[in-house]
Structure 1
Amino acid sequence: MDLTAILGVLIALAAVLGGNLLEGGQLQELLNVPAAVIVVGGTLAAAIIQSPSQDVARAFRLVGWAFGRNKQDLSQNVDKIVNWCVIARRKGLLALETEADKEKDSFIKVGLLLLADGKGPDILRSTLEVELVTLEQRDLQGVKVIESMGGYAPTLGIIGAVLGLIHVMSNLSDPAALGAGIATAFVATIYGIGIANLFLIPVANKIKSLVLMRYQHQEMILDGLMSIAEGQNPKAIQQRLQGYLG
């Protein structure tokens, strides 16, 4: 679990709620179920209408990824690649099948199996690059869904406010309730702008950075596997891959 991301969400909530309290407001003034239904439900509906179902499903998985364990340990994988090179030189490429069985990452598993089958560097690169680029493009499509929700949410907030004002104006016979009714109506605007700028857009940007980090990590894996296929020695591979660690 990414505690930094969760901490960011908590700070955002604390900033809004704390600011409201400092202004003399009350917590219950910001609680409005109809406004939440309009903003959240409308935003989800717009995203579902706009995007294919597989992109919407991927977007929700990516949100989980943004708040889950997502740190790539590049140095550990450099050590793994060097170890695979040592195994290949001592026992032959076929021994990498056993190493492939230990890996959960499908990208690494496919690469090791290709090496074990004796595939050359060109075939290795062409095969793995297809998987690398395809996965990146699919995830970026999911990010676009989240970004679009960040664009729709403020508009749905305005719609919620207008609907609230219509309800207020239809009850002008009770002037004492007008102030509270108008204040409640604008809660929907707060929901829309807040959800967009404090959650959806930041999460989309974080996922973009995670996709880029994973791409660079897979590029390093691919480079290392190709070096093994070319027959380079472990020391040379380690020195080559150190450049990815920055």
Structure 2
Amino acid sequence: MDPATLIGIVLAFGALFAMITLEGSHITAILLPAPMILVFGATIAVGIAGGTLRDFLTAMKALPGAFRGKITAPQAVIDQVVSLAETARSKGLLALEQEADTIDDPFLRGALQNIADGTDGDELRIMLEDEIATKAKSDRAAAKFFMALGGYAPTVGIVGTVVSLTHVLENLSSPDTLGPMIATAFVATLWGLLSANFLWLPIGTRLKRLADLEVDRMTLQMEGALAVQAGSQPRLLGERLRAMVPAEALKKAA
């Protein structure tokens, strides 16, 4: 689990609350139900309107992953593939069918089953590349949804402020109440900016990053599986796969 998103969001809101406290104000000054309902409700609504219902459902299913952030270390993938290469070299490709039953990852398991079934290498590469492309497209669609919310939220906040200022202008005959009413009016703009920069954009960026890492992981598995099918020597295979991974990523894994 990589809690970077959760830590970042908590620290961002913590800095906001610290600023409010240091200025002698109180957090209840911005926790107003009306502007919050407008900003969050309308932002999500226009996000749904800008895509399809399937996009919304896909984004909601991907949301927990942004906080859990399960990331597989590249070295762990390389070690697993090298182990499979050693098994294939000593026991033959048919032994990979038994190995596939012990693997939880459906992508690698499917690749091994196809190798054991004697699927042609070129056909297997095409099939695996298509599967990677489909997975990447689905993951990036979820990221795109939250990035879109980050674009809508500030404008929705401005809409809320304009509505509130209209109400302020209706009460010019009561100058004693104008100050608090104007302050309240700008809370909608505040929440529009906060939700965009503290929530939607970080979540969208995080999901995009996780999608890229998932593509990298699946690519390593694909190249490893195809090399195993071709009878590559395990040690050389490990060196080849490590060459596909940035040195910094391997150092972090170590």
TM-score w.r.t. structure 2 length?
0.92
Runs of 5+ unmatched residues, structure 1: none
Gaps of 5+ in 2: 248-254
Give the equivalent residue in structure 2 for 1:61.
61
Q: Is the 8 A contact 1:2 1:66 kept in 2?
A: no
Structure 2 residue aligned with 1:121? 121
Q: CA deviation at 1:96?
A: 1.4
2 CA distance for matches of 1:145 and 1:236? 42
RMSD of aligned Cα (Å) = 1.5
Q: For the residues of structure 2 that align with 1:231 and 1:222, how far apart are their CA atoms?
A: 14
Which moved further from structure 2: 72-81 or 18-27? 18-27
3-state SS of paired residue (2:236): helix
Whole-angstrom distance in 2 between the partners of 1:71 and 1:25: 41
Does 1:9 pair with 2:9? yes
CA distance in 1, matches of 2:190, 2:103: 46
Query: Which one-letter code corresponds to 1:167 in the other structure?
Result: H
In the alignment, structure 1 residue 210 sits paired with structure 2 residue 210: yes
Query: Could you list the per-position Cα deviations for residues 58-92 of structure 1 after superposition, in whole angstroms to 9, with x for gaps in the alignment?
Result: 11223221111321221111111111112222222
Letter in 1 for 2:203: V
Match of 1:240 in 2: 240
Alignment match, 2:162: 162
Q: Distance in 2 between matches of 1:37 and 1:102?
A: 48
**Local SS of the residue matching 1:43:** helix
State the match for 2:89 in structure 1: 89
Aligned to 2:46: 46
Scaled by the length of structure 1, what TM-score is found?
Answer: 0.94
- Segment of structure 1 superposing worse, 39-48 or 79-88: 79-88
Report deviation, 1:229: 0.9
Contact 1:120 1:229 in 2 (8 A): no
Does the CA contact (< 8 Å) of 2:142 and 2:207 recur in 1?
no
- Using the aligned pairs only, state the percent identity: 35
Count of residue correspondences: 246
Determine whether 1:133 maps to 2:160: no
Between the aligned partners of 1:219 and 1:3, the Cα distance in structure 2 is 25
Q: Does structure 2 retain, via aligned residues, the 8 Å contact 1:120–1:230?
A: no
Matched, 1:77 2:77: yes
2-side partners of 1:148 and 1:216: how far apart? 25
- Equivalent in the alignment of 2:221: 221
Distance in 2 (alpha carbons) for counterparts of 1:56 and 1:102: 34
Q: Secondary structure at the match of 1:102?
A: coil
C-alpha contact (below 8 Å) 1:87/1:96 kept by paired residues: yes
1:45 Cα deviation after fit: 0.5
2:23 corresponds in structure 1 to: 23
Aligned counterpart, 2:109: 109
The one-letter code sitting in structure 2 at the alignment partner of 1:92 is G
Residues 6-44 of structure 1: per-residue CA shift (max 9 Å, x gap): 111111101112112222221111111010110000001
Q: Do the aligned partners of 1:154 and 1:193 also contact (CA within 8 Å) in 2?
A: yes
